[in-house]
Amino acid sequence: MHYLRQAACVTAATAMTLATTVIAAPAFAADAATNYVALGDSYSSGVGSREYFEDSGDCLRSPKSYAQLWADAHGVDSFTFNACSGATTDDVNSGQLDGLGADTTLVTISVGGNDVGFSSVVQDCLLGNDEGCDNAVSAAEEKGRSELPGKLDTTYANIKQAAPNAEVVVLGYPRLNQPTGGCGIPGFSEAKRQRINAGADVLAEVISERASAAGFTYADTRDAFEGHGVCSSSEWINGPSNPLQESFHPNTSGYAEGYLPVLNSVTG
């Protein structure tokens, strides 16, 4: 996802959560060809893992992303890795769908956080007071309810048209702050962290509803990350980091032990 290249930047995807439970989907037949395409933003590309393919440039695609891990573990016939840090729904529509086709059997995607501007929201929450954080989250929630549904509907329809035979899994974002309580990050009060979580749930509700309406599977990673958020004793999400792009994204454990098992629970 897009991150601010100034101090205290945070990515949109980070601030988001998912809301509902995984909707079971049929497992892939062991003897069938698996042609997998990974779409979406930084949570799909693997930002936070601190290891990236050289040729991925600013998209920051990682061999430690859940998408690459799934492809490696399942011995897929083909894998197209189009996810890109900073992607919005418009970016997916204009630059990521070229790898889809009638022979595509699996598509995964996480997208929507950048569309509602949660990178700036989390920055505001880190640097401002509790009231400013509440106002910033409220504004993002309103955008999520009013503008995002149509953007997701268009994106999902484009995916379905380009890959009519694929199983499409929409992966949600984990809460940043699980559990809340004591935290050593300056300015990141419990009130702010709870408010970010609440805003994330609103985003997740919108994404899960639109995924369901499209006939796609929504995979909720919230439970998988319970107890492993920022400031936990076993963090699967990076706190403020150097370089800043790593901040507030899953680390290698988050992708391997959080995201990957959730995806496996859907695909079998």
CA distances 231 to 13, 74, 176, 182, 223, Å, are 18, 33, 9, 8, 17
- What's the pLDDT band for 18 if we cut at 50, 70, 90? very low
Give yes or no for residue 111 having a pLDDT over 80.
yes
42 is catalytic: yes
CATH entry, 13-267, from 2.40.70.10, 3.40.50.10490, 3.40.640.10, 3.40.50.1110: 3.40.50.1110
249 is catalytic: yes
CA 33 remoteness from chain centre: 26
- Give me the catalytic one of 44, 120, 228, 249: 249
pLDDT tens-digit profile of 205-246?
A: 999 999 999 999 999 998 999 999 998 999 999 988 899 889
Q: Across all residues in the chain, what is the average pLDDT?
A: 89
Mean local confidence (pLDDT), 3-27: 40
**C-alpha to C-alpha distance for 256 and 199, rounded to whole angstroms:** 26
Q: What does the domain layout of the chain look like in residue ranges?
A: 13-267
- Give me the catalytic one of 2, 42, 110, 208: 42
CA dihedral (106, 266, 253, 241) in degrees, to 10, reads 60
Residue type, 97: L
Give yes or no for residue 6 having a pLDDT over 60.
no
pLDDT tens-digit profile of 30-39?
A: 446 899 999 9
Give yes or no for residue 3 having a pLDDT over 50.
no
